């Protein structure tokens, strides 16, 4: 009978502990997702409504007393009905936010010196990333011009990477100052302005998601387990510009690279630099042929790091 070395046993115990922690996380996640799916199903909603005390027709007691008796008799049923109501409201909210990604509302500016009597048109832009709704962006518009019809961007929470001013100049041009040219004032198109703005915001978050997916694919995490084993491993992946169109790669042997993407997150160019300048060999290994999607680059980087 052979005896396992102490170092290998320690590594095996650490690996088993990590797998157990991942299993507990996955079990909790799938359990939560399963409960949400069951509660939001039509069959479950129908059963809860049919078994609720309010659905009893022939009863000499008022509905309030029936509900109190039901809660005393079976508190778990009341708790389940409460969770089902919350899940139904959450599902309805998600449907509204998905079907209406842009909503308009009116706001009144309390400032007594505000233009146009304080009337403000608000736009709410919904953005989803990795299956979750992010914090919405807001754009406030007012009418400060004497014509009373042209809109202008008053306030906004759009990130700096989105060219809001360019979209406003293109689709919401201000009226001309020439008094002789008032017969044909520039036309504004609010619908095109909103479409272009939301498309650019969505592209921006998609590019951020590409960087996060690449970092997660290469297993970069905070802690000792993220340290590379050899010089071909990637030690850092980060966004290199404000528009999130460039991704910076850093190797363990101090090489660096840049991934340049287009507006939609597709790879356009990859550059790798070493101590002696351009590293053409690594560039050719990572970028070749027609399959140069981000998934392909991540797979090649992963294969080189594991080699």
Does residue 12 sit within a domain? no
Provide the 10 A C-beta neighbour count for residue 193: 21
Does residue 240 sit within a domain? yes
Highest mean pLDDT among 5-19, 49-63, 74-88, 219-233: 74-88
Are residues 120 and 159 both part of a single domain? yes
Does residue 289 sit within a domain? yes
Does residue 84 sit within a domain? no
Contacts with 246 (C-beta within 8 Å, 6 or more apart), sequence order = 239, 240, 258, 259, 260, 261
Q: What is the pLDDT of residues 133-162, one digit of tens each?
A: 888 999 999 999 887 789 999 999 999 999
Are residues 153 and 130 both part of a single domain? yes
Report whether 211 contacts 247 (CB < 8 A): yes
Provide the 10 A C-beta neighbour count for residue 79: 11
Report whether 150 contacts 226 (CB < 8 A): no
Are residues 271 and 242 both part of a single domain? yes
Does residue 141 sit within a domain? yes
Does residue 181 sit within a domain? no
Does residue 224 sit within a domain? yes
Are residues 201 and 284 both part of a single domain? no
Work out the percent of the chain whose per-residue pLDDT is above 70. 64
Q: What is the pLDDT of residues 180-190, one digit of tens each?
A: 555 566 789 99
Are residues 203 and 229 both part of a single domain? no
Q: Where are the beta strands (DSSP E) in the chain?
A: 102-108, 119-125, 128-129, 132-133, 137-142, 152-156, 234-239, 246-251, 256-261, 267-274, 277-278
- Report the domain count for the chain: 2
Can you give the residue range of the structural domain that contains 128?
99-175+187-207
pTM flag (> 0.75): no
Are residues 104 and 197 both part of a single domain? yes
Does residue 126 sit within a domain? yes
Q: How far apart are CA 271 and CA 248, in angstroms?
A: 10
What confidence score (pLDDT) does residue 233 get? Answer: 81
Report whether 151 contacts 171 (CB < 8 A): no
Q: How far apart are CA 264 and CA 128, in angstroms?
A: 15
Are residues 168 and 254 both part of a single domain? no
Task: Quote the tokens at residue 110.
Answer: 């309390």
Are residues 142 and 193 both part of a single domain? yes
| Whether residue 285 has pLDDT greater than 90 | no
Are residues 202 and 260 both part of a single domain? no
């Amino acid at each position: 009978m052979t005896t396992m070395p102490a170092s290998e046993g320690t590594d095996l115990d650490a690996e088993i502990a990590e797998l157990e922690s991942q299993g507990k996380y996955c079990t909790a996640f799938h359990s939560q997702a399963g409960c949400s799916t069951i509660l939001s199903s039509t069959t479950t909603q129908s059963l809860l409504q049919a078994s609720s005390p309010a659905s009893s027709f022939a009863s000499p007691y008022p509905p309030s007393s029936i509900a109190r008796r039901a809660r005393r008799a079976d508190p778990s049923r009341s708790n389940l009905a409460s969770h089902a109501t919350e899940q139904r409201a959450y599902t309805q909210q998600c449907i509204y936010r998905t079907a209406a990604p842009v909503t308009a509302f009116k706001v009144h500016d309390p400032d007594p010196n505000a233009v146009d009597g304080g009337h403000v048109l608000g736009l709410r832009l919904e953005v989803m990333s990795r299956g979750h709704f992010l914090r919405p962006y807001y754009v406030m518009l007012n009418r400060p011009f004497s014509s009373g019809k042209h809109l202008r961007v008053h306030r906004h929470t759009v990130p700096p990477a989105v060219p809001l001013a360019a979209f406003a100049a293109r689709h919401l041009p201000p009226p001309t100052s020439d008094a002789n040219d008032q017969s044909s004032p520039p036309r504004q198109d609010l619908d095109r302005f909103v479409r272009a703005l939301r498309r650019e915001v969505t592209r921006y978050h998609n590019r951020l998601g590409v960087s996060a997916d690449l970092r997660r694919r290469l297993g970069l995490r905070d802690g000792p387990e993220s340290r590379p084993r050899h010089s071909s491993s990637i030690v850092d992946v980060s966004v290199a510009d404000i528009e999130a169109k460039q991704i910076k790669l850093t190797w363990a042997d101090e090489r660096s690279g840049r991934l340049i993407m287009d507006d939609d997150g597709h790879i356009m160019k990859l550059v790798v630099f070493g101590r002696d300048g351009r590293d053409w060999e690594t560039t050719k290994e990572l970028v070749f042929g027609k399959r140069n999607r981000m998934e392909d680059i991540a797979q090649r980087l992963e294969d080189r790091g594991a080699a």
